[in-house]
Amino acid sequence: MVLEASFLCIDNSDYMRNGDHAPSRMEAQLDAVNLLSGAKTQSNPENVVGLLSTAGRGVEVQVALTGDVGQVLSLSHGIKIGGNANLSAGIQVAQLSLKHRQNKNQRQRIIVFVGSPVQEEEAALVKLGKKLKKNSVAMDIINFGEEAENAAKLEALLNAVNSDDNSHLVTVPPGPHVLSDILLSSPIVQGEDGAGAAMAGMGGGGGEGAGDFAGLAVDPNMDPEFAWALRVSMEEERARQEAAAKAAEEAGAGSAEGAAASSGEGAAAAPASDAEMAEAAGGAAAGDADEQALLEQALAMSMPGAAAEQPKTPATAPPAETPGAPVGGASETPASAAPPPSAVPAPALEDAVMAEADEDEAMQLALAMSMSQGGGGESTTPAPAPAPAPAAGDMSAVFQDPSFLQSVLGSLPGVDPNDPRIQSVLQKQDGDKKEDEDKK
């Protein structure tokens, strides 16, 4: 939260046409300019940023010190490539501009992009650096493009300017990575005491998928509320998955042979739907289709272990937080107006009815797995594949047999078949199943 006036010096020499930093060095630079000016003005609203180009016809100040990031961005795109970079002149002009800043309380900082060979001698650079240090100007140097050649000179310059670790040198080798991403995690954006750590925290916390990171990295700058919403939904999702994983483990321990397959499937399904969920949450489109998909996935996740896993899950819902399906729905947008009616455990099954096709498949699969421990020769596929309807019907018939259900339930640890809650749920489920068949 340091009050700072930063002047960015970008290199617009002919070396910037090179494509070794995607898509071209110049574009990577402009991207980084966008990032840096956003980061600076974000960390303190009174910060100002300026921009100049060091090549072309000569050093030219593109944007005087301003707090308006939009102005910096729009004018940065008008910069033409050509000529040779004059580093020392650029730095001196930047220093002069900083000297005449309006708010003298702001610290002075120059951020230089160096992408072409430095023509000045090392001694001259050191002298310049000392002058900057004497006038308490800090400096950040971003060495890309011709790093090997410039490394020694820029190191010397950094050591001359550096006072109490307020200056940094970042070297970016060419490669598939994005310049801005590297800068984001570097001390230039992070600040000396991790002032920018908030952004890194958000990026790290939302690092479930690589795509998410890039998305979240922009969020704190553009839309803090949206970023907060995403973060909350991510945390909710994680908590729910942990609960589901624990439940799956408990159930899986009960059924002997099915355990390996189910927990394997559960583990496989978990990260799969994890990623899907993350993407769904990241997409944040609360369409009905998405909710359906989420519900199905939630059911699939809670399925592994035993057939009775499903009635068990809603049964344990009343003491626990929220059942899988509604949390799945809620994690879409935390501000989603109407959570599905499955906020109550019993209606969770009615929701299951809505997703009847998948429920049947899942149930059939679970049944098959639990029956396979008894030596049943059902060959099952690990994924809940669509099953032919008559087979599903058969399974449902079997499933409806309360005595069968009781035996399965009894084999599970921690589930008391005489538990009145489970009884009531079972009865309701039977009723739903009949409804199911009628609907078909």
The DSSP symbol for 163 reads S
Q: Which is nearer to another protein, 92 or 336 (CB)?
A: 92
Is residue 424 a contact residue for another protein (CB under 8 A)? no
- Give phi and psi for 172, each to the nearest 5: -115, 105
Q: Whole-number minimum distance, CB 161 to another protein, in Å?
A: 12
Q: Which is nearer to another protein, 132 or 317 (CB)?
A: 132
Is 50 within 8 Å of 94 (Cβ atoms)? yes
Q: Whole-number minimum distance, CB 164 to another protein, in Å?
A: 6
Measuring CA to CA, which residue among 173, 224, 172 is closest to residue 198?
A: 224
Q: Which is nearer to another protein, 96 or 260 (CB)?
A: 96
Q: How many residues in the chain?
A: 440
Interface residue with another protein among 2, 27, 130, 151 (CB under 8 A) is 130
Please give the Cα distance from 26 to 90 (Å, whole number): 17
Residue 25, CB half-sphere, CA atoms under 13 Å: how many? 26
Interface residue with another protein among 74, 119, 135, 427 (CB under 8 A) is 135
* Number of residues counted as binding another protein (CB under 8 A): 9
Q: Whole-number minimum distance, CB 118 to another protein, in Å?
A: 24
Is residue 104 a contact residue for another protein (CB under 8 A)? yes
Binding piece for another protein, criterion CB under 8 A, among 129-137, 316-324, 382-390, 425-433: 129-137
Q: How far is CA 373 from CA 164, 189, 251, 299, 314, in A?
A: 68, 57, 14, 22, 25
Measuring CA to CA, which residue among 384, 381, 299 is closest to residue 348?
A: 299
Q: Whole-number minimum distance, CB 229 to another protein, in Å?
A: 40
Is residue 92 a contact residue for another protein (CB under 8 A)? no
Please give the Cα distance from 169 to 374 (Å, whole number): 67
Q: Whole-number minimum distance, CB 113 to another protein, in Å?
A: 25
Is residue 134 a contact residue for another protein (CB under 8 A)? yes
Peptide bond into 23 cis (omega under 30): yes
101: left (phi over 0), alpha (psi -120 to 50) or beta: beta
Q: Which is nearer to another protein, 166 or 292 (CB)?
A: 166
Q: Which is nearer to another protein, 159 or 423 (CB)?
A: 159
Strand order in 48-53's β-sheet?
A: 60-66, 48-53, 4-10, 107-114, 137-144, 168-172
Q: Which is nearer to another protein, 163 or 336 (CB)?
A: 163
Binding piece for another protein, criterion CB under 8 A, among 34-42, 118-126, 132-140, 203-211: 132-140
Q: Whole-number minimum distance, CB 130 to another protein, in Å?
A: 7
Q: Which of residues 187-246 bind another protein (CB under 8 A)?
A: none
Is residue 77 a contact residue for another protein (CB under 8 A)? no
Q: Whole-number minimum distance, CB 189 to another protein, in Å?
A: 23
Q: Whole-number minimum distance, CB 52 to another protein, in Å?
A: 19
Largest CA distance in the chain: 91
Q: Whole-number minimum distance, CB 89 to another protein, in Å?
A: 16
- Within 10 angstroms of residue 337's Cβ, the number of other Cβ atoms is 6
List residues bridging with 113 in a β-sheet. Answer: 142
Is residue 136 a contact residue for another protein (CB under 8 A)? yes
For residues 157 to 176, the per-residue mask of contacts with another protein, x marking binding by CB under 8 A and - elsewhere, is ------xx------------
Q: What does DSSP say about strands 137-144 and 168-172: parallel, antiparallel, or unpaired?
A: parallel
Interface residue with another protein among 17, 77, 80, 99 (CB under 8 A) is 99
CA 73-74-79 angle, to 5 degrees, is: 95
- Residue ranges in contact with another protein by CB under 8 A: 99, 104, 130, 133-136, 163-164
